[in-house]
Amino acid sequence: MSAVEKAFHGLRHMIGTGRLGPGERIPPEGELCEELGVSRGSLREAVRMLAALGVIEPRHGSGTYVSQLRPEDVIGSLSLTLELLPLSGLLEVYEIRRVLEAHVAAQAAARCTPENIRTLFSLIDAMEATSDPAEASELDHRFHAEIARVGGNPTLATLLAVFRARSRKYQVFTLPEGPELRRKSDDDHRVLATAIADHDPVAAAGAAQAHVAQTERWLRAFMPPVEEVERVEAPGSAD
Amino acid sequence: MSAVEKAFHGLRHMIGTGRLGPGERIPPEGELCEELGVSRGSLREAVRMLAALGVIEPRHGSGTYVSQLRPEDVIGSLSLTLELLPLSGLLEVYEIRRVLEAHVAAQAAARCTPENIRTLFSLIDAMEATSDPAEASELDHRFHAEIARVGGNPTLATLLAVFRARSRKYQVFTLPEGPELRRKSDDDHRVLATAIADHDPVAAAGAAQAHVAQTERWLRAFMPPVEEVERVEAPGSAD
DNA sequence: GCCCAGAAGTCATCTGATGACTTTCACGGT
DNA sequence: ACCGTGAAAGTCATCAGATGACTTCTGGGC
């Protein structure tokens, strides 16, 4: 096992076994190097790995702390990488998103309060009022995030936020067809919010699913034609 | 921006803009250090971060290569950290799993071939025949993985495999009640496989959902009582 | 009691050197 | 001409030391 792996697994084991609990400060680099038997450089690489994964958090001058280890903490790490995926691989993500958005919409329909509903409709109003695509995209995000929040599962809300962020990169509303797409999108939002306000989980799930499917169709239709060339596996001769 | 962040975002940008494509070898450390304006140590920390996230893959002596950037590649990185979550935070993950397992079961019911069905039932037979809890757990995993594979979405299959791996850590079958739980679990599997064989998506979804919910109940009932103390937010005096 | 300066602790970064592993390629044998 | 062998180059892996930056604690002065 390499030095970095040794440090990585050693640290992970300390956290997994409870020797280092959520929020706790881990020993300084010097001590860990001695205990794990690696140099500071290797230890620091392992620390950076765990930090990228949302497990620990170094603070300059203070120390390195274990995160709260909530599911959101580790799932949030996906946001750093999901936007690197090529569009072709994204359709599978959309299928997942469709299923989960439908679920949170149904949950929201069952749990929502009058105040939640007011918030949703005020977001829709603001969305329809603005002409700035960037602001519309931001409000769209907040609308769906609010539904996910009302759904009652922060982990699921985080996961969906990550998926949505990936889609937003494409800025579909800035296309020539943007205004028409936005009108259709606004209609979808009203249908969805109404179903939630009616406490109708089935209608809400259906509306959410249809909305995501619609977005997916737009992306496929208007985005640069996905390169259909098969992936070149090897940069060399036959690697 | 710190040196490591500069290197991290620089590398991520190169991949995101297509300057470095899937499978391609990235420039050697020396060149990247000069281009990004950081030292080798900082660059290496950034490389390790991206490697932990499944985006690149260093190969000792050969070079560092961009991964294929399939959704599975980046989602698989969760398997390194999901097992660190405390049980209390896991219930939210179970809700997600329940929804997604139901979906893949329905998809599998719609798509399965006779050979798929034979595979599923042979796995069930093997599961019922063994008395080794570890082997039973392994076969259980393969059974569900096969359903997810037939479901046709590799990304979703990977995500569910990650979630399941987390549950397997608890080894519920090694408890005193293990044999009885396994009998019930085997029954669930037969119901699920039969629904899939009948090409009945609704029944398959229901069976999958019920099976996951059952597993969740077992964990809650038999696992060490979750510490209900509220999380200490601050690492200071009351840490 | 409050504020501020200094000291201590800790992470961040750079530099240089050495080792380990892979790939390439020239060489010689067949 | 083909093939295996071994040397050499290229690349990542690891260690050690030194310095800087930032945070936190501590004690003195007011």
User: In this complex, is the C-beta atom of B89 within 8 Å of any C-beta atom belonging to chain A?
Assistant: yes
pLDDT, residue A32, reads 96
pLDDT digits (tens, 9 = 90+) for B58-85: 999 999 999 999 999 999 999 989 989 9
Quickly list DSSP for B37-48: T--HHHHHHHHH
A60 touches strand D (CB under 7 A): yes
pLDDT, residue B40, reads 97
Amino acid letter, residue A121: F
Quickly list DSSP for chain A: --HHHHHHHHHHHHHHTTSS-TTPEEPPHHHHHHHHT--HHHHHHHHHHHHHTTSEEEETTTEEEE----HHHHHGGGGGTGGGS-GGGHHHHHHHHHHHHHHHHHHHHHH--HHHHHHHHHHHHHHHH---HHHHHHHHHHHHHHHHHHHT-HHHHHHHHHHHHHHHTT-GGGSTTHHHHHHHHHHHHHHHHHHHHTT-HHHHHHHHHHHHHHHHHHHHHHSSPPP-SPP---SSS--
Q: Is B215 helix (H, G, I), strand (E, B) or coil?
A: helix
- Mean pLDDT computed over B203-229: 80
Contacts of B239 in chain A (CB under 8 A): 23-25
CB contact under 8 A, B154 and A78: no
pLDDT band at B55 (very low <50, low <70, confident <90, very high): very high
pLDDT digits (tens, 9 = 90+) for B170-212: 777 677 776 788 888 999 999 999 999 999 999 999 999 999 9
- Mean pLDDT computed over A189-218: 95
Of A62-76, B89-103, B189-203, B209-223, which range is least confident? B209-223
pLDDT band at A111 (very low <50, low <70, confident <90, very high): very high
pLDDT, residue A223, reads 63
Q: pTM of the predicted model, to two decimals?
A: 0.88
User: In this complex, is the C-beta atom of B43 within 8 Å of any C-beta atom belonging to chain A?
Assistant: no
pLDDT digits (tens, 9 = 90+) for A132-182: 888 888 899 999 999 999 999 999 999 999 999 887 777 776 777 767 888
Contacts of A157 in chain B (CB under 8 A): none
Q: What angle do CA B214, B119, B165 make, to 5 degrees?
A: 45
Closest CA of chain A from B136, distance in Å:
25
pLDDT, residue B226, reads 47
pLDDT band at B239 (very low <50, low <70, confident <90, very high): very low
Higher pLDDT, A171 or B137: B137
Contacts of A49 in chain B (CB under 8 A): 48-49, 51-52
User: In this complex, is the C-beta atom of A155 within 8 Å of any C-beta atom belonging to chain B?
Assistant: yes
Amino acid letter, residue B101: E
pLDDT band at B222 (very low <50, low <70, confident <90, very high): low
pLDDT, residue B88, reads 79
pLDDT, residue B219, reads 82
Is residue B23 within 8 Å of residue B17, measured between CB atoms?
no
pLDDT, residue B228, reads 41
Task: Name the average pLDDT for chain A.
Answer: 89
User: In this complex, is the C-beta atom of B238 within 8 Å of any C-beta atom belonging to chain A?
Assistant: no
| A57 pLDDT higher than 80 | yes
Q: Which nucleotides of strand D lie within 7 A of protein CB? A: 10-18, 21-25
Q: Give the nucleotide with minimal C1' distance to the Cα of A51.
A: C11
Closest CA of chain A from B98, distance in Å:
11
